[in-house]
Amino acid sequence: MNANSTTADDLEPTGAPGGLPALAQINFHSLDPEDILAVAAKGAVALFPCRVEATYVALDEEMKLCPPSQTERPELTGALQRSRWQGRIELPRGDWGWAFPLSHRDALHGCLVIGASAKPTPDHVLLLKLLALRAGAALACADIQQREVGRASQLAEANEILAKALHRLQTRTQAHELLEAALAAGDGLQGIVDALHRLTGRSVCVEDTFGNLKAWAGPGRPLQYPKPKPGQRAQFLRSLSTQAGPVRSGDRLCVLIKPRTEILGVVALVDRGDEVDEDMLFALRYGSNVLGLELSHQRNLGELQLNLRRELVDDLLAGTDEQGAYARAEALTHDLRRPHYVVVIHGGRGADNASIAAAGRAAANLNLNYLAGRQGSLIVLLVDSHPAPDALHLAVSRQLGGSTSAIGIGSRCDVPADFPQSLLRARRALYVRLNSAHPRGASDYFELGFYHLVDAAHTAGVVDEYVRQWLGALIDYDAGKGSDLVYTLSHYLECGGNYDESAAALHIHRSTLRYRLGRIADLTGFDLRDVDTRFNLHAATRVWRFLTSGT
């Protein structure tokens, strides 16, 4: 109860109409329902010799004792509910009882229940009703005030939520703008990582799928970047792919760079135990999306340029118009007007994309400008200066590992029309190398000696007759029977007539080799023991293998 309010302790019981001044002195200054009901109860006792049986207040559309310290009287509450909280009620011992509703504008805000040993006069009842009306108005004001306080609290809470949402929107808009501006600026991964570092205040790193560092922004970059083992890296990427958000790994918060279904790398905040808030996490997640766009763009550009280069290589090797070839090469920033050489590489892994890229790196390490492509299972490089065979083989072997088998280097190309012939000669050099006693290595067409003379004779049209003279019967027999007697004879002669070495090279039994050699002698009529005959047959088989390698 407010300290300034007049209470029943200040009044003496009186009757009407002398009670009106007393009623006027009863003021409801407090907006607390308990204070209002206390003033009403004491005022009723001051206006009429009675006792207060109970006081109630309406809370959440339900009447409850107020103050709640009053003793619960279920029989009284039940009687009040039946009487709709107003009018005459029955009290124990037959005393007079009345429920005065504390209402305001037809809204029930409480109830004052009084009892007396004698029935009050109409004037006393009138005074009590007026007191109830004033108490009802006070309770209505209290209810309004409480509602306003509640609304103010809700408004303050809503304003706080709105302020946080506005701040979050501003920070996320800033993240969008900075990262998208970095993407549009064309500064690549480093530009995006620098922007992410400015947004978060943390060091940022980007790794490829193998764990190699691609970009770093901020302090603390390791002098030697640690690289995980392949099995550990694969397990780490799998664990990241199963999580919806960032995953902590040591001092880093990591997110996959995965624009579609393919994993392109990992971006991480290096927080070193510092707290990372939601805005930083949003910047990290959105940064991974922007990095995914950049990496996909780089890959698409690389694949497009690679396809254009391979198409140009294919056309040059097949024969194409000169001016068109120069224009296409210039668009690819390759100077085709310099002398070139065709290099063909036979590797155990074939001519897949990884092998072609590795061969290109080998050429670049030798300071050779190149165009790369494939011809069947062979890797093809068009290099702009003559490579040293041994150095080229060593560089390619380092890139391809132990899979490198042999390399053939063709003739010089001064104009685009020279490339088809250079390819043919490079293939012949490669074939000679593959069928030599030392197949691993590089052979230059113009260093083939005897084979170079064979090619010149073949170009002049005088070598075919020589081959037919010595091997014609075997060639025809092989063609008709599907056998390989010429091939068998070639290996036998290359091995110097040694049965064991020849059989091992042909992967056949000695008796099979003996039978084939007997069949060769029968078909040709030649004595394989004759020195001159063996010399001419050896030369003819080498010519045959050299010429068939170019087809």
The answer to the question of residue 2 being in a domain is no
The answer to the question of residue 181 being in a domain is no
For residue 105, give its domain range: 19-148
101 and 38 in one domain? yes
Number of domains in the chain: 4
Residue-wise pLDDT tens digits, 15-44:
444 467 778 778 888 889 999 999 999 999
- Final residue of a domain: which of 445, 475, 507? 445
Torsion of CA 467, 547, 393, 409, to 10 degrees: 120
435 and 347 in one domain? yes
pLDDT score of 10: 41
The answer to the question of residue 80 being in a domain is yes
Instruction: Give all strands of the β-sheet with 87-90 in edge-to-edge order.
Output: 62-65, 51-59, 107-116, 96-104, 87-90
The answer to the question of residue 315 being in a domain is no
Residue-wise pLDDT tens digits, 59-84:
888 999 999 999 999 999 999 999 99
25 and 124 in one domain? yes
436 and 482 in one domain? no
The answer to the question of residue 129 being in a domain is yes
CATH number of the domain where residue 220 is located: 3.30.450.40
436 and 461 in one domain? no
Q: How far apart are CA 226 and CA 216, in angstroms?
A: 14
SS3 of 374, please? strand
Residue-wise pLDDT tens digits, 490-506:
888 888 888 888 888 88
511 and 489 in one domain? yes
**DSSP code at position 116:** E
The answer to the question of residue 319 being in a domain is no
- For the chain, list residues with pLDDT below 70: 1-19, 273-274, 348, 402-404, 435-437, 449-463, 546-547, 549-551
Where do the H-state alpha helices sit in 348-418?
353-365, 389-400
465 and 429 in one domain? no
Q: Is residue 356 within 8 Å of 373, Cβ to Cβ?
A: yes
The answer to the question of residue 336 being in a domain is yes
**Residue 116 one-letter amino acid:** A
* Cis amide bond preceding 17, omega within 30: yes
Q: Is residue 36 within 8 Å of 142, Cβ to Cβ?
A: yes
pLDDT score of 404: 62
- Final residue of a domain: which of 424, 445, 466? 445
pTM above threshold 0.85: no
403 and 336 in one domain? yes
241 and 120 in one domain? no
**Residue 100 one-letter amino acid:** F
Q: How far apart are CA 142 and CA 267, in angstroms?
A: 59
367 and 430 in one domain? yes
CATH number of the domain where residue 507 is located: 1.10.10.2840
pLDDT score of 33: 92
48 and 143 in one domain? yes
Beta strands in 333-386 (DSSP E): 340-347, 370-375, 378-383
Helix axes 353-365, 389-400, angle to 10 degrees: 140
CATH number of the domain where residue 428 is located: 3.30.70.270
Per residue, what are the HEC states of 508-537? CCHHHHHHHHHHHHHHHCCCCCCHHHHHHH
Q: Is residue 25 within 8 Å of 6, Cβ to Cβ?
A: yes
The answer to the question of residue 160 being in a domain is no
Q: How far apart are CA 520 and CA 526, in angstroms?
A: 8
141 and 37 in one domain? yes
- Final residue of a domain: which of 95, 118, 148? 148
